[in-house]
Structures are given as structure tokens and as C-alpha cells.
Amino acid sequence: MSETATTSGPLIHPGEWHIHYDYAVGDTAARFFTELRDNMKVYARRCPSCGRAFVPPRAYCERCFVKTTDWVEVGPEGVVEAFTIVYEPFDGLPVPPYAVAYVTLDGASTALANFVTGVDLSDPEVASEALALGSRVAVAFAGKREGMITDFHFELLGHNK
């Protein structure tokens, strides 16, 4: 390369990776997903030190740094902590519009995200009011379950569609 060569910025080459991989989820997540699939129940794992109930379950408390112990059933209802409504398509996801909410299930100390049904998403302003923080939802299980987070979704309660 000559000393007189100059660049106006970084050289960028476009690229795309599509990688399929399988991984072991570990004992804690395996139990969580098995309960979803086989028993249609959502379980948290409780910290013996502070009493927080983690869902999705964690093997160790993120606050106390101790091993979690007891399995506790949570839900089947909960409260919306945050939400988004998607109107643009993304590969591998449902055809829009769809809503995703971060929900703290009754009896849990932490929240988890999943799809929400039971609200008309055609008008973003009206849909946002229906999904407002504090709205109540219920866990609804799929007819065919595979041991994945998509074995259930949340249904908005107390709202006319």
C-alpha cells in the first residue's frame, strides 16, 4: 500500500449471517419449560435469602448471589409493566400488528415478556390505552406445546376488544 493512499472512513463490507444452533438450557430452564409443556403451569424459583421469586427462573439470586431453592407456581394472572406494539414485519415473527408485554405474574418478583392477545391493535392510541401499565392479563396456553416460551401468551383481561 502506498503511503499516499488515504481513506475517508472505515471500509465496510455488507454481510448477513443466518446461523442455526442448538444448546442445552440447563436444569433450571429445563424444568421451567417442561412445566409449561406438560402441566400448563408457570413456575418461579425462590431465593432462600431475600425471598424473591424469579420468573423465568434463575439458578442463583441476582441480588444475594445465593443458589435459589424452592419452585413456586406463579400466575395465572399478572400485571403489565411495559409493552410495545409492532406494526412493521420482522423475520421469524408473526405478521404485524402484534403486541408484546413485560408482565409480572402474581406471586413473582420479576417480569417476563411474551405476546399479548385480546386487544384491537388497529388504532395505536386506543391499543396503548388498553395495554396501559398496570393492566391485568392472564396466561393462556397453546393447544400444542413444545417446551418453549411460546407455549403460552398473555390475554388482556377486563377490556372490550
* Structural contact between residues 47 and 63, judged by C-beta atoms closer than 8 angstroms: yes
Q: pLDDT tens-digit profile of 9-40?
A: 888 888 888 888 888 889 999 999 999 999 99
53-105 tens-digit pLDDT: 999 999 999 999 999 999 999 999 999 999 999 999 998 889 999 999 999 99
CA distance 161 to 157: 10
Give the pLDDT of residue 32: 97
> Taking the domains of the chain in order of start, what are their residue ranges?
26-156
pLDDT tens, 98-152? 999 999 999 999 999 999 999 999 999 999 999 999 999 999 999 999 999 999 9
SS (H, E, C) 9-37: CCCCCCCCCCCCCCCCCHHHHHHHHHHHH
Give me the pLDDT at residue 160, please: 45
Answer whether 140's CB lies under 8 Å from 152's CB.
yes
Residue 1 has pLDDT above 60, yes or no: no
pTM of the model as a whole: 0.84
For residues 160 and 77, the model is more confident at 77
Longest dimension (CA), the chain: 71
* Ordered strands of the 53-54 beta sheet: 53-54, 42-46, 71-74
Residue 161 has pLDDT above 50, yes or no: no
